[in-house]
Amino acid sequence: MRVVTWNVNSMKARLPRFLSWAAERQPDVVLMQETKTDDASWPAPVFADLGYESAHLGTGRWNGVAVLSRVGLEDVSYGLDDQPEFDGVAEARALGATVGGVRLWSLYVPNGRGVGVPHYEYKLEFLQAVRAQARAELLQLGPTTPFGVLGDFNVAPHDDDVWDIGAFGGSTHVSAPERAAIEAIRYDGPDEVLSDLMPRASIDPADTRHPYTFWEMRMLGFQKGRGMRIDLVLANAALAERVKSVWVDRDTRKGQGPSDHAPLVLDLS
């Protein structure tokens, strides 16, 4: 089974590229973020023609999440149980579903905007809600059910997950509280419950570059290698043991009209 998480940065803008990419890569499950469309405009019939059931949560603004599956789509959860609001709105940033016997969440974590501003505090609260959701579901599902939290976390867990840590001094994505929030999702006390599955940099098994998943659109960020690893796969042991490979579909970032994120591909036995 091939599972992909991808911040498409507007489904409307990316649909032609998505269709050609899907025909080539043949994913069984696609978790999307930043669809930038509302539920009424979601192109479910287009995906159905390709054999995918789909669930979408979006308002047409700067968020939106989705799950596409051709191996079943059950137990869809629209939003986190204790998801915080921002300016009185519960944004479309989390969608859970069971696909082919695997429980997955598609997450689009708030950007944070700047350390110490209200949106940054909202980001930390959102990550706390992700931790609570994961713990509750892991307890309910038990250790034998594959479980994963995937998507655009807007956090680079380690210094080498950004192209130049010196360029990020005092900024979001690399601050200690954000990284601690990711660690809190992964660990319950001293015990690791969700592994951060490190991908390789591209489809090429011999590629030794760092596996960035995002490059700024400005100032030739991709061409100059100014990337970040902010799209993550956090997997429990039952999911991790099924993994054959994890890789960034880096070439998807090339060409005309790409998303600023590349798909992150998880191939399972």
The pTM for the full model equals 0.97
DSSP 142-208: -TTS-EEEEEE-S---SGGGBS-GGGGTT-TTS-HHHHHHHHHHHEETTEE-SEE-PPBSSS-TT--
Q: Is 225 helix (H, G, I), strand (E, B) or coil?
A: coil
d(CA 33, CA 6): 6
Q: Which residue, chain included where needed, has tokens 């690791």?
A: 192
CB contact burial 23-45 (16+ within 10 A = b; e otherwise): eeeebbbbbbbbbbbebeebbbe
The DSSP call for residue 62 is: S
Does the domain at 2-268 match CATH 3.30.750.24? Answer given as: no
Q: What is the full per-residue pLDDT of the chain (269 aa) written as tens digits? A: 999 999 999 999 999 999 999 999 999 999 999 999 999 999 999 999 999 999 999 999 889 999 999 999 999 999 999 999 999 999 999 999 999 999 999 999 999 999 999 999 999 999 999 999 999 999 999 999 999 999 999 999 999 999 999 999 889 999 999 999 999 999 999 999 999 999 999 999 999 999 999 999 988 899 999 999 999 999 999 999 999 999 999 999 999 889 999 999 999 99
CA-based nearest residue to 185, from 225, 129, 110 = 129
d(CA 238, CA 103): 11
- The residue ranges of every structural domain in the chain are 2-268
For residue 61, the model assigns a pLDDT of 81
Task: Provide the token pair at 184.
Answer: 């809190």
Task: List CB contacts of 148: < 8 A, sequence separation 6 or more.
Answer: 3, 102, 103, 104, 105, 194, 233, 234, 235, 236, 239, 266
For residue 62, the model assigns a pLDDT of 86
For residue 200, the model assigns a pLDDT of 98
Quick one: three-class SS letters along 78-137?
Answer: ECCCCCCCECCECCCCEEEEEECCEEEEEEECCCCCCCCCHHHHHHHHHHHHHHHHHHHH
